[in-house]
Amino acid sequence: MFDYVWLIPVFPAIGVLINGFLGKRIEKFNKSIVHWVACGAVGLSFLVTCIIFFQMLGLEPEHRFYEFTCFNWISGGVLQTYVAYQIDPLSMLMCMFVTGVGFLIHVYSIGYMAHDEGRYYRFFTYLNLFMFSMINLILANNFLLMFLGWEGVGMCSYLLIGFWFSEEANAVAGKKAFITNRVGDFFFIVGMLVLFCGLGEHGVWSFQFSRVFPNVHLLSPNTVTLVCLLFFAGCTAKSAQIPLYIWLPDAMAGPTPVSALIHAATMVTSGVYMVARSNILYSLSPFAMGVVAVVGALTALFAASIGLAQNDIKKVLAYSTVSQLGYMFLGLGVGAYAAGMFHVLTHSFFKALLFMGAGSVIHAMSGEQDMRLMGGLRKKTPITFITMFIATLAIAGIPGLSGFFSKDEILWQAYSSPHGHFLLWLTGAVAAGMTAFYMFRLIFMTFYNENRAPEDVQHHIHESPKAMTVPLMVLAVLSVIGGYLGVPHALGGSNRFHKFLDPVMGMGPDKIFQKAAGGSLHHVAEGSHVAAHHPSLFMEYLLMAVSVAIALIGIYIAYVMYVKKRDLPEKLAEKFRLLHRMLFNKWYVDELYTLVIIRPFHGISNFFWKIIDVIMIDGMVNGVARVVGWGSSVLRLIQSGYVQCYAVSIIFGTVALLVYYFLKIAG
Amino acid sequence: MDMLEFVVPELDFRAILPQIILAITALTVLLTGVFSREKKGPAIGFLSLAGVALSFSAVVFSGSQTVSSFSGMLTNDSFARFISMIVCVVALLTILISINYRKISPAINSGEYYCLLLFAALGMMFMGSAGNLLMVFVALETMSISIYALAGFQKQREKSIESALKYFLLGAFASGFLLYGFALVYGATGTMDIVKIGRFLNDHPLVVHSPLLLGGVALMTVGFGFKVAMFPFHMWTPDVYEGAPTSVTAFMATGVKAAAFAALIRVFYVALGSLQVDMTQIMWVIALLTMTVGNVVAIAQSNIKRMLAYSSIAHAGYLLVGFVAGGELAISGMLFYLLGYAFMNLGAFGVIALLAKKDGEYTELSDFAGLGFKYPAMGLVMAVFMFSMAGIPPTAGFMGKFYIFTAAINSGFIWLAIFGVINSVISIYYYLRVIVTMYFKEPEQDIVMLTPTGAIILALVIAAAGVLFMGILPSSVLDIARNSTTLIM
Amino acid sequence: MNQLDFPIISLVTFFPLVGAITVMLISKERKDALRTAALVVSLIEFIISLPVLIYFKSGTHGMQFVENVPWVKSLGISYFMGIDGISLWIVILTTFLTPVCILSSWNYIQKWVKEYMVCMLLLETAMLGALVSLDLVLFYVFWELMLIPMYMLIGVWGGPRRIYAALKFFLYTAAGSVFMLLAIIFLYYYNHKVTGVYTFNLLELYNLNIPVSVQFWLCVAFFLSFAIKVPMFPLHTWLPDAHVEAPTAGSVILAGVLLKMGTYGFLRFAIPLFPYATHQFTPVIAALSVIGIIYGAMVAMVQPDIKKLVAYSSVSHLGYVMLGIFAFNIQGIEGGLYQMLNHGISTGALFLLVGMLYERRHTRLIKDFGGIAKVMPVFATFFMIITLSSVAVPGTNGFVGEFMILVGAFRSYPVFAVIAVSGAILGAMYMLWMYQRVMFCPLDKPENQKLKDINAREIITLLPLVILVFVMGFFPGLFLRKMDATVEHFLENYNKRYEMYAQQETAEQLEAKIAAVVSERSEAPRLQGGASR
C-alpha cells in the first residue's frame, strides 16, 4: 500500500538531475527557477512522507511495517542486495523531520545564498543530492543501501563544506570531513562484513534488516559485541564522537545553511539513527552499550568544555552539537533508544534554528563570525534574537521547552536504566550546566551590550529577508512544542513518542529469544534480571530539579561574566591560563593527531616511494641492466682486432675441445 | 672394403642441375663482364638474377625423390633441396641488394663480383648435398675462397681489404683444422663417405671412443664452428662483417651460416650419430656461451653492422640449441630458422645498404636517428626485421625460436631453453635500440637515403613478406622443413 | 557452437587492422582526415562488437561465438577463438575505450598523426586477439604483439624520459612472458606424453593432470608473466614510468585494458591450468595484493606529479582485483571482474582529465596548479565525479566492485579484507588531497588564471565514461548477470580439480612413505613414487 515510497528519494534525485545538468543555463535564464526546482523537490518529498506517515498512523501499531523493493542492486552468488525501502515508525519519524527541516533550510538558503552568483544552482544541486542520500540512509531496508546514504551524505558534506573552495581552509576542512568519515566508514564496512559473514555461517546471507535482526541470536556474543563496536566506531565519525569528532568544528567553514542542515539537524544524527535501528544488536551486547554510553557521556562533557572558550559563533554551536550528540549516544547506550531518538528530534529543531539564527547574524554582520566583534544586535535583528533566544532556552533545558523533555529523559535514564550509572548522570548534568553557560554566553555576547564591530559594518546591520526569517519562526514554534510529543509519565504525560516507536524499539532481546528457543539463553537471563530494577518517582523529580538548577546556575554565571562584570572573563583567563589555553586550543587534539598519525604516515609513504620503489626495486631492475651492460663492455675488449689474438682463441678452443673429448675417453 | 673393385660412377647430372645452372650462369656473367665495356647498367646483375631464378626453379621442380649420385659424393635429398632453396633465396636477395649497392661501390658492378657470388652459392649448395667428407671440404673451399675475395671487393676501402685478409687468414687456418679432422676420421673409420662412416660406427661401437675419431670430431667442430661463428671461433665475425661491402656481409651472414649448418647437421647426425651422447655436454656449453657472448657484446656496439655481426653469433647460438636438442623436430626447426634468419638478416642489411653515400656507408647506430619517420616504408620494414630478430610475434624470428625451444624442451634440455629465452630478452634490448634510434630520436645530421631502385625495393618487400609470412602462416614452410629432415642414414 | 553462424570474433578482432591499413593509405598531410578516419573505424568497430554483447547467452558457461580452424597443423596450433563471461566485458571495454582514446588525442597528437592512429588501431587488434584466443600459441602471439604498438606509443609520442620508460615497459613485460612461453611449450609436451595428442587448445589442456611438482614451476612461470602485467607489488615499477611518459591515450589504454590482461590471464590461464599450485600460492598472492593496495596508495599520496599519482593508484586498484580473484568465491571473482571494468573507466577517465590539464598547462606537477575549479567549472565537475568513482563512493561503479571484492575476500581471508578496507581510506586521502591542491584553494598562479574550460569534443570524450560510472554504480546487475554462469562454472571446476589433485597428493605421499619404509626395511631398490610416473 506504500508502493509509492520510492517517490520520496526520487524527487530530490530529479532535482539533482535538473539543476546538475541544466542549472547553469537555468540560472542565467532565471535564477528563481533553480530554487523553485530544488525546494519543490524536497517539498514534494516532505508531502509524500506526510501522506505515508499519516496513513501509517491509521494502522494498528503491529502492522506499521512495510517493505518495497525497487530493483536488484549488487548481487553475486549468496550476496543479494536490493534497492529497497522500509516503512516503519522509526524510518518515518526520521524521514518526517529530515524532509521537513530540510525543506525549511532549502527555503532559508534562497535568502542566504542569494548573492552567490554563478554557483547558485550548484549549491542547490548539492543540497538536493544530500537530501537524496539522507533519505536513502533513512528509508533503506538493508545495511548496504543505508551505507549508500551513509557515504553519500558524507560526500555531500564534503562538497558543501568546500563550497567556497577558493579559501584553502574551506577546502581543507572538506577534505578532513570526508577522510574522517571514511575512517568511520571503514569500521562500518568491516562491521557489515562481519555481520554478513557471521550470519552467513548460519545460512542467513543478507543485509536486510528484517532478515538480519530476527536472526541475530544465531551469532555468538563476541561477534555481536564486535559488530556493535564496529558500527559504533562508524558512528563516532559520522556523529562526531570521541575520537573522530575533529572534523565537525572545522566543517563550519561551509555556508551556514549547510551547517544547519547537515552538521546539526540531519546528517550527524544518522549515527544515532543507525544505533537505534540496530537496537536489537546492541541490546544483546551490554559491553557495547556500555562503550556507547561512556563515549557519549565523555563527548558531551568534553565538547561542552571546549565550547566554553570559543569566540567564533559557529564554532560554539559546532561544539554544542558534538556535545548534544554525546547526549543522544548516552541515551542509546543506557538502552533508552526512544529517548535518544527523541533528543534527535528536538535537537534538530532547536539546533537548526540556532545555526540559521547564527547565519542570520553573520548575514547581518557582513560575514563576521567572531562574537567579540558583535554585540547589541537585539534591537537591530529582533526576529533573529527572539527565535534564537527561544532555541537557547530549549537547549539549556529550561522546563516547558522541547530540549527540557528530551534531555531530561536521557539524564534520568542514564541514572535509572539497568545499564545506567550515577557517574553517567553526573557527567551529563555537568555538561548540561556548561551548555547553559556557553549558550547564554553566545546570546549575551551577540545580542546584548554595545556593538563592537567597525563603523562600516555597523551601518549595514539589518534584519534578514523573509525567506530566512520565516523558517526561523517555524522552527522556533517547533522548538517550543516539539517536546510535548513525549512528555514523560512522571510529569503526567503519556509518552506517546515511546509508544509510537515501540514496534521498532520494543523488539527487545526477550522477544527474539522467545522466537528462537534454544539460543544462547544466558543473555535472556541477564536481560530479564536487569529489567527488575525500578527506581522511585521521587528520585526522578529530584534529579530533574537538580539538572534544572545546574542549568540556571550556568545561565547566571554567563550573565555575570558577559553582561554585568565584563572584565571577569579576562581575569579568569589570566588566572587559569593553562586551562584557558587548553580549552581555547581545543585540548590540542588536532595537533596531536597530526603529530602522531599524519606526519609518521607521510614519512613512511615517502620511505616507500623514495627508498623501496626508487632505490631498492628499481635499483635492482636497473642494476641487472647495468651488470649486463658492464659485462658487455668488458667482453668487447677481448675483440682487439688483431688476427693473432683471434687465432689464439681458435687454438684455445681447439685445445679445450680436445681435452674434453680425451677426458671423455679417460672417464 | 674392396679397394680394387672398379666402380663406374653413376653420373646423374639431373641431380646437380641447379648447381650446373649456377655454374654456367657464373661463367656467362664473367664472360659478359669481360666483353661488355658498358659497366653502368644493372644488366649483369639481372643476368645473374635470372640464373639464380632458373636454378631455384630447378630445385623446386626436381621432384621429391632421394637420389645418391656420383658414387655417393652427392646426395640429392629433400634436406639438400631445402638448403639449396635457402641458398637460392639468399643469392637472389643478395643480387637484388647488390644491383642497388653498385651506386655506392661501383666496383661491384662487374662480372667478377657476380661470378664469385654465384660460385659461392654453388659451393653452399654443394655443402648441403655433399655425401662425402671430401666433397664437403671442396664445397666449403669453393664457397670460402669466393667469399674471401668478395669481402675485399671494395679495394679503395681499407676496412674491406682488412676484412678480406682477416677472413682469409683465419678461414684458411680453420679449414686446416677441418681437413685434419676429416683425415683423422678417415683414419678411424676407413671411409670418407658420410653414410658409410655412420654405418661403420654403428657396427663398431669400440671405435666410437677411439682417440683418433674423437680428435677428428674435435677438429671438425673447430672447422664448422668457425664457419657458423660458434664461440670461441667467432672472433673474426665482427671485423669481417663490418669491413666487407654490406651486400657481401648480408650474403655471408646468411648463406655461409646456412651452408655450414647444413654440413654440420649432415656430418654430425648422419656420420657421427653414435657420438651424440658424448657431444651433448660440450655442445650444450658452447651453445650457451655462443648465444650469451653474442647477445651481451652486441649491447655495447654502436656500429650497426658490428651489432648485427654479434647478433649473428647469437643466432648461431640459438641454432646450436636446436643442434643440441637433436631429432627430427629440432632439425626442421633449424631449417625453418635458417630460412627465416636469411629473410630478416638480408632485409636488415638491405636497409643498411640503402643508407649510404658514395664510397661510404652510414653504419653508426646514431646515423639512424629519426629515419623511421623520414623514410616511413624503410623504417617499417627495418622495424619488422628487428622485431623478428628479437623474436617478437608474429614474425619468422618468433616462430623459429618457438620451434627451436620447443625441440629443446621436447628433448629435455629445459635449462638450455631457459637460458635461450633469457638471452632473447637481452637481445630485445639492442634490437629495440635500433627502433629507439629510428623512431624516438631526433635526427642529428641530414642523412639522405640512396634512391632505391626497384631491385632493392623488391628485395626488401620479399624479405619483409617472407618474415611476416613465416610468422603468420608458418604451416606451409614448416611442413616443407619437416619433410626435409629425413637425411640419408 | 557459433550462435551467429558468422565469424564475428574474427571480424571484431581484425577490423581495426583492416582499418589501420586503410588509414595508412591516407596522405599524412591530411591530419584531420586521418583523425576522422581512425575515429570512424574505431566507432564502427565498437558497433560491430555490440552483437557479441547482444547475442551473448548469459545462462551458459561455455565458450560462445567459437571459431576453430587449424593454423599450424603439424604442431597442433589452431586458430581457436571464443568469448565467455570472463572475457566478454573486457572485449567490450576495449572496443569502447579505443574511440574515446582517439577522440582524446585529437589535438594532443600533432606529430606523426598517421603512425599514431595506425598504432592505436593495431593495439586494439592485438588486445582483442589476446582476449579471445583460446589457443595458447595464438594467445601468446597476440600477447607479445600488444607490446609493439604500446612501445611505439610511449616511445614516439611520450614525455621526456620516454625512451627509458618504453624500454623498461617492453623488457619488463617481455622478460616475464618468455618464461610463460617455455611453460606453454612444456605443457604441450606433457600433454602429448599423457594423451598422445599434440595440441595447444586451452580447453583441452584444462583437463590435463599435471604432477604437482611440475605444476608448481609451470605456475610460477605463468604467474610471473601475469603478475608483471597486472602489475603486482613488487613487480610494479615499470608502471609509473610507463604511465608518466605515455601520451594520454596510451595511458588510458594501458590502464584501461593492458593491465587487465594480467588479471584476465590469471583467470583464463594460470588458475584453471594449475589449480593445485594456485591453491598453494593463494596466500602469497593475496598477501601481495593487500600489500599492493596499501603500498600503492601510500606511495600515491606523496607523489608530486598527478599522473604518477594516478599510476600508483592503479597499483592499488589492481591489488583489489587480485585480492578478489584469489578469494575464490563468486563475489570475489565477479567483484574482481567488475573492478577491472571500473578501473578501466575511472582510471581511464582520470588519465584523460590529467591529459586535458597537461594540454593546457604543459605541466603535471600538483604544485603548479590550484584553484582550477574556478576557471574550469565543467572540468572540475567531471573531475570530481571521476574522483569519487575512484575512491569508490556508493552509487558509483567503484563501490560495487570494491564491495563485492571485500565481501568475497572477507569470506576467505578476513584479516586481509580488513586491511584492504583501510585502503579505501587511503584512496580517499590521496585522491581528495590531490583534488584539493589542484582544483581548490586560491587561484594564485597567473598562468592558471586564463585557462579555458573543456570544449565540446572533450565533453563528448568524457561523457560516456561519466554516464557509465553511474549506470554501473546503480545497475551492476546488467553487467554481472552475464558473468554469473561462467564464474560459477569456473569455481566449480577449480574446486573439483583442486580436490582431485589434493587426493592425488595424499596418495602420493602415502606411497612415498610406504616406499621409504619398504626400502629401509629390506634395502630393496626404492619404489618409484607417483610423481615420476
Which residues touch B104 (CB under 8 Å, ≥6 apart)?
A: B353, B356, B357, B358, B359, B360, B361, B450
Percent of chain A past pLDDT 70, that is, above it, reads: 95
A221-225 — which CB contacts under 8 Å span 24+ positions?
A221/A284, A221/A285, A221/A520, A221/A523, A223/A194, A223/A195, A223/A198, A224/A281, A224/A284, A224/A285, A224/A288, A225/A285, A225/A287, A225/A288
Chain B, nearest residue to C172 by Cα: B425
* Amino acid, res. A518: G
Report whether pLDDT(B314) > 60. yes
Cβ distance A629 to B215 less than 8 Å, yes or no, reads no
Q: What is the pLDDT of residue C289?
A: 93
> b/e per residue, B77-102, with b = 16+ CB within 10 A?
bbbbbbbbbbbbbbbbbbbbbbbbbb
Cβ-contact C355, C296 below 8 angstroms: no
- Strand pairing of B74-76 and B67-69? antiparallel
Picking from A21, A72, A79, A130 by the largest number of C CB atoms within 10 A of its own CB, the best residue to mutate is A79
Nearest alpha-carbon partner for B481 in B66, B57, B78? B78
Which residues touch C226 (CB under 8 Å, ≥6 apart)?
A: C176, C180, C261, C262, C263, C265, C266, C269, C270
The grid coordinates of residue C362 equal 604543459
Q: What residues in A contact B210, CB-CB < 8 Å? A: 665
**What is the C-alpha separation between B142 and A469, in angstroms, rounded?**
111
Nearest alpha-carbon partner for C76 in B487, B402, B334? B402
Using the Cβ of C334 and the Cβ atoms of chain A, whether some distance falls under 8 Å is answered with yes
* Amino acid, res. C447: E
Report whether pLDDT(B251) > 90. yes
Q: Is A81 helix (H, G, I), strand (E, B) or coil?
A: strand
**Residue B211 falls in which region: left (phi positive, over 0), alpha (psi -120 to 50) or beta:** alpha
Cβ-contact A91, A9 below 8 angstroms: no
C residues 366-395 closer than 8 Å to A (CB) = 371, 373-374, 377, 384, 388, 391, 393-395
A592-599 — which CB contacts under 8 Å span 24+ positions?
A593/A246
Report whether pLDDT(A85) > 80. yes
What is the distance in angstroms between the Cα of B425 and the nearest Cα belonging to chain C? 6
Query: At residue C322, what are phi and psi to the nearest 5 degrees?
Result: -65, -40
Lowest mean pLDDT: which of A168-182, A563-577, B269-283, B407-421?
Answer: A563-577
Picking from C25, C170, C218 by the largest number of B CB atoms within 10 A of its own CB, the best residue to mutate is C170
pLDDT tier, A529 (very low <50, low <70, confident <90, very high otherwise):
very low
Which residues touch A246 (CB under 8 Å, ≥6 apart)?
A: A176, A180, A589, A590, A593
Picking from A626, A655, A657 by the largest number of B CB atoms within 10 A of its own CB, the best residue to mutate is A657
- Interface size between A and B, measured as CB pairs under 8 A: 89
Using the Cβ of C330 and the Cβ atoms of chain A, whether some distance falls under 8 Å is answered with yes
Q: What is the pLDDT of residue C285?
A: 92
Report whether pLDDT(A533) > 80. no
Of B373, B392, B478, the CB nearest to C72: B478
- As beta bridge partners, residue B356 has B361
Q: What is the pLDDT of residue C342?
A: 92
What is the distance in angstroms between the Cα of C506 and the nearest Cα belonging to chain A? 29
* Amino acid, res. A349: F
Of A629, A645, A650, the CB nearest to B233: A650
Q: What residues in B contact C17, CB-CB < 8 Å? A: none
DSSP B38: -
Cβ-contact B408, B322 below 8 angstroms: yes
* Widest pairwise Cα distance in chain B: 74
Query: Within chain B, how many helices (H) and strands (E) appear?
Result: 21, 4
Q: What is the pLDDT of residue A586?
A: 76
C residues 109-168 closer than 8 Å to B (CB) = 112, 115, 137, 140-142, 144-145, 147-148, 151-152, 155-156, 162-163, 166-167
Q: Mind listing the pLDDT tens digit of every residue in chain C (533 residues)?
A: 567 778 889 999 999 999 999 988 888 888 889 999 999 999 999 999 999 998 888 888 888 898 999 888 888 889 999 999 899 999 999 999 999 999 988 888 888 888 899 999 999 999 999 999 999 999 999 999 999 999 989 988 888 888 889 988 998 888 888 889 999 999 998 898 888 888 899 888 888 888 888 888 999 999 999 999 988 888 888 999 999 999 989 999 999 899 999 999 999 999 999 999 999 899 999 999 999 999 999 999 899 999 999 999 999 999 999 999 999 999 999 999 999 999 999 999 999 999 998 888 888 888 888 888 888 888 988 999 999 999 888 889 999 999 999 999 999 898 999 999 888 888 888 998 898 888 888 888 888 888 888 888 889 989 999 999 999 999 998 898 888 889 999 999 999 988 888 888 888 888 888 888 877 766 544 444 444 43
Percent of chain B past pLDDT 90, that is, above it, reads: 45
Q: What is the pLDDT of residue A525?
A: 39
A residues 171-190 closer than 8 Å to C (CB) = 171-172, 174-175, 178-179, 182-183, 185-186, 189-190
What is the distance in angstroms between the Cα of C53 and the nearest Cα belonging to chain A? 20
Using the Cβ of A641 and the Cβ atoms of chain B, whether some distance falls under 8 Å is answered with yes
Chain C, nearest residue to B477 by Cα: C72
User: What pLDDT, in 10s, does the model give residues A127-174?
Assistant: 899 999 999 999 998 999 999 999 988 888 888 888 888 888 888 888
- When pLDDT is averaged across residues A184-201 and rounded to a whole number, the result is 90
Cβ distance A629 to B218 less than 8 Å, yes or no, reads no
Distances (CA, A) of A9 to A42, A99, A130, A149: 9, 10, 10, 11
The grid coordinates of residue A124 equal 542547490
Cβ neighbours, 10 Å, residue A467: 17
Cβ distance B425 to C171 less than 8 Å, yes or no, reads yes
**Kind plus residue range of the DSSP H or E element containing A518:** none
**Kind plus residue range of the DSSP H or E element containing C381:** helix C377-390
Cβ distance B392 to C147 less than 8 Å, yes or no, reads yes
Q: What residues in C contact B376, CB-CB < 8 Å? A: 115
**What is the C-alpha separation between A244 and B413, in angstroms, rounded?**
63
- When pLDDT is averaged across residues A71-95 and rounded to a whole number, the result is 87
Of A633, A641, A656, the CB nearest to B300: A633
Q: What is the pLDDT of residue A24?
A: 80
DSSP H helices, B229-303, are: 236-243, 246-251, 257-265, 276-299
**What is the C-alpha separation between B346 and B334, in angstroms, rounded?**
17
Chain A, nearest residue to C463 by Cα: A21
What is the distance in angstroms between the Cα of B317 and the nearest Cα belonging to chain C? 17
Q: What is the pLDDT of residue A531?
A: 44
**What is the C-alpha separation between C199 and C197, in angstroms, rounded?**
6
Q: What is the pLDDT of residue C210?
A: 86
Does the N-terminal peptide bond of residue C7 adopt cis geometry, omega within 30 degrees of 0? no
Of A155, A166, A196, the CB nearest to C388: A155
**What is the C-alpha separation between B364 and B301, in angstroms, rounded?**
9
pLDDT tier, B488 (very low <50, low <70, confident <90, very high otherwise):
low
Q: Is B81 helix (H, G, I), strand (E, B) or coil?
A: helix
Of B421, B478, B482, the CB nearest to C182: B421
Cβ-contact B424, B401 below 8 angstroms: yes
Q: Euclidean distance between the first and final Cα of chain B, in Å?
A: 19
Q: What is the pLDDT of residue C527?
A: 44
User: What pLDDT, in 10s, does the model give residues A540-550?
Assistant: 888 888 888 88
**What is the C-alpha separation between B413 and C275, in angstroms, rounded?**
26
Q: What residues in A contact B236, CB-CB < 8 Å? A: 646
Q: What is the CA radius of gyration of chain B?
A: 21
Q: What is the pLDDT of residue B7?
A: 60
Q: What is the pLDDT of residue C228?
A: 92
Report whether pLDDT(A524) > 50. no
Report whether pLDDT(A311) > 50. yes
pLDDT tier, A641 (very low <50, low <70, confident <90, very high otherwise):
confident
Q: What residues in A contact C413, CB-CB < 8 Å? A: none
**Kind plus residue range of the DSSP H or E element containing B46:** helix B43-60
Does the N-terminal peptide bond of residue C231 adopt cis geometry, omega within 30 degrees of 0? yes
Q: What residues in C contact A190, CB-CB < 8 Å? A: 418, 421
Going from N- to C-terminal start, the domains of chain A cover 1-218+235-279, 285-584, 590-666
- As beta bridge partners, residue B130 has B74
- As beta bridge partners, residue A140 has A85
- Interface size between B and C, measured as CB pairs under 8 A: 87
**What is the C-alpha separation between A89 and B90, in angstroms, rounded?**
91
Cβ-contact B463, B346 below 8 angstroms: yes
- When pLDDT is averaged across residues A240-263 and rounded to a whole number, the result is 83
Query: Within chain A, how many helices (H) and strands (E) appear?
Result: 31, 2
Report whether pLDDT(A375) > 80. no
* Amino acid, res. A20: G
Q: Which single residue is written with the C-alpha cell 550546566?
A: A433
Which residues of chain B are at the C interface, by a Cβ-Cβ cutoff of 8 Å? 373, 376, 387, 392-394, 398, 402-403, 405-406, 409-410, 414, 417-418, 421-422, 424-425, 428-429, 432, 435-436, 439-441, 473-475, 478-479, 482
Cβ-contact C62, C23 below 8 angstroms: no
The grid coordinates of residue C86 equal 570472463
Using the Cβ of A649 and the Cβ atoms of chain B, whether some distance falls under 8 Å is answered with yes
The grid coordinates of residue B73 equal 659424393
The grid coordinates of residue C245 equal 611518459
Nearest alpha-carbon partner for C130 in C313, C261, C225? C261
Cβ distance A179 to C432 less than 8 Å, yes or no, reads yes
A residues 565-604 closer than 8 Å to B (CB) = none
Cβ-contact B439, B374 below 8 angstroms: no
Cβ-contact A398, A350 below 8 angstroms: no
Q: Is A311 exposed, middle or buried (0-12, 13-18, 19+ CB in 10 A)?
A: middle
Cβ neighbours, 10 Å, residue A642: 12
- When pLDDT is averaged across residues B83-87 and rounded to a whole number, the result is 93
Cβ-contact B123, B141 below 8 angstroms: yes
Cβ distance C175 to B392 less than 8 Å, yes or no, reads no
Cβ-contact B387, C148 below 8 angstroms: yes
Q: What is the pLDDT of residue C93?
A: 93
Q: What is the pLDDT of residue A517?
A: 43
Q: Euclidean distance between the first and final Cα of chain A, in Å?
A: 97
Report whether pLDDT(A454) > 80. no
Which chains does chain B touch, 3 or more C-beta pairs < 8 A? A, C
What is the distance in angstroms between the Cα of C84 and the nearest Cα belonging to chain A? 17
Q: What residues in B contact C163, CB-CB < 8 Å? A: 436, 440-441
pLDDT tier, B39 (very low <50, low <70, confident <90, very high otherwise):
low
pLDDT tier, A527 (very low <50, low <70, confident <90, very high otherwise):
very low
Percent of chain A past pLDDT 90, that is, above it, reads: 7
What is the distance in angstroms between the Cα of B300 and the nearest Cα belonging to chain A? 6
- Interface size between A and C, measured as CB pairs under 8 A: 148
Cβ distance A639 to B233 less than 8 Å, yes or no, reads no
Q: What is the pLDDT of residue B316?
A: 94
Cβ neighbours, 10 Å, residue A83: 22
What is the distance in angstroms between the Cα of B169 and the nearest Cα belonging to chain A? 8
Cβ distance B222 to A654 less than 8 Å, yes or no, reads yes
Chain C, nearest residue to A145 by Cα: C394
Angle between helix A143-161 and helix C397-412 axes, rounded to 10 deg: 130
Q: Is B109 exposed, middle or buried (0-12, 13-18, 19+ CB in 10 A)?
A: buried
